Amino acid sequence: MSLAAHLAELAEKHRVLDRRIEQELSRPAATDHEIMRLKVEKLRLKEQIEKLQARSRKH
């Protein structure tokens, strides 16, 4: 998989998680644990994206 394709895939996963967090926050029975889990996963994706982008700029 090319770097650009991998970045696009990670960016899409990040957007999906963002929507899931918004949906979870709008639910009356939302749990803090689930929201925190989703936010941590989203942050990990963001960090991966930033590392890959930094690596691609060096080349």
Do the Cβ atoms of 39 and 25 come closer than 8 Å? no
Q: Looking at residue 34, what is its pLDDT?
A: 92
| 10-19 CB burial, b ≥16 within 10 A, e <16 | beeebeebee
More confident residue, 16 or 1: 16
Q: Looking at residue 7, what is its pLDDT?
A: 93
Q: Looking at residue 56, what is its pLDDT?
A: 83
Distances (CA, A) of 57 to 4, 13, 26, 53, 54: 12, 22, 38, 6, 5
Which residue, chain included where needed, has tokens 């990990």? 44
Confidence (pTM): 0.84
Output the furthest CA–CA distance in the chain (Å, rounded). Answer: 48
Q: Looking at residue 59, what is its pLDDT?
A: 67
- pLDDT tens-digit readout, 4-58: 899 999 999 999 999 999 999 999 888 999 999 999 999 999 999 999 999 888 7
